[in-house]
Amino acid sequence: MALRATIFKLELHVADMVRGYYDSHTLTLARHPSETEERMMLRVLAYALYASEGLSFTRGLSTTDEPSLWEKDLTGTILTWIELGHPDERRILQAGGKSKDVVVFCYGGHASHVWWQGVQAGVARVQNLRIISVSPAQVQALASLARRTMTLHITIEEGTALVSSADDSVSVDIDVWR
């Protein structure tokens, strides 16, 4: 018998001082059985950093031809392609051809540096690529806020996201490598 996804309900309030974006979102997250809470909460952070009307979670880990999140316009054109982890060079090149912007969120510490050194030259021609790193310790702290039903307030200022719940808050440094 196959394991089923765990469903999380999220009320997300975003105050992005950088983009001037202030809105609330009611979201349903499906956490694949092989997905960690750290990765799921990084998806939430990525959602907050790029929140817009057309941004949505995809089918996730079970689908190899979709990113973790994407933003599409009304015609179905992909505007923003958001990956988590360490995608291979080929996947980044494909994403660059399919979308206006490509964003990769790394959260592996030293492993992320090694990955970036390995793919950097090969993806240099992808002009619409942004690489963002979040420290593993901060992602673990973010995971401690995960609940099956949660309300999060995320305030984004230059280089930092303050993620608050009713019980606790976590400050996450957003390190833009490219």
pLDDT in tens, 40-49: 999 999 999 9
The domain defined by 6-176 folds into Restriction endonuclease-like alpha-beta roll fold (3.10.640)
- pLDDT surpassing 80 at residue 101: yes
pLDDT in tens, 6-17: 899 999 999 999
Total-model pTM: 0.92
Instruction: State both tokens at 123.
Output: 């993806």
Q: Do the beta carbons of residue 131 and residue 177 sit within 8 Å? A: yes
Q: Look at 30-39, 78-87, 114-123 and tell me which has the smallest mean pLDDT.
A: 30-39
